[in-house]
Amino acid sequence: MKPIPHLTYQQYRTTRKLVHRCCNYDEGNCLVLECVCVQSISYSLLCRWFRAAVLPQDTGLCAALLYRDQMKPCVICGASFVPKSNRAKYCPNCALNMKEYIERLSEYMASTGRTYKNHAATIRRWIADDRRKAAPARDRDYSVKEGDTV
């Protein structure tokens, strides 16, 4: 049997919010056990119904608690995810973006006739360029006009 996962404070707070979505939760009580909801007062993952039915609604928390030993960091964004195969390098969000970048590179190479020695490096550079373009500009004006109060 697997050990009972213990929660950090942030995970506990998120779990408390999820407990309210449980169909057996009624004003702090569990309808099945006819007592106080054990999941709402514990820093451990105790309730089997909560594990099976409620926790999968928050995929990040579910992966962090139930699949700790299988987690891998995403190569691009650094977020932890549970890979579907041994070869997975990207979280689901970045994997979709990578497919788009690969298609974009293929179209660009076909239209211009250009070749690259390292396709991955080109895509990583494009990602970095896109992030820089998406970053908000920091044009702050700290000048004070005469008569203004600070």
pLDDT of residue 62: 82
* Domain residue ranges in the chain: 9-70, 92-134
Query: Residues 103-122: pLDDT tens digits?
Result: 988 998 899 988 888 888 88
What global pTM score does this model have? 0.51
Cα 82 to Cα 68: distance, rounded to the nearest angstrom = 9
pLDDT(128) > 80: yes
Query: Residues 93-105: pLDDT tens digits?
Result: 888 888 888 898 8
Residue 30 · residue 36 · CB < 8 Å: yes
**Sequence-separated (6 or more) residues with CB below 8 Å from residue 47:** 30, 37, 38, 39
Residue 52 · residue 59 · CB < 8 Å: no
Residue 120 · residue 76 · CB < 8 Å: no
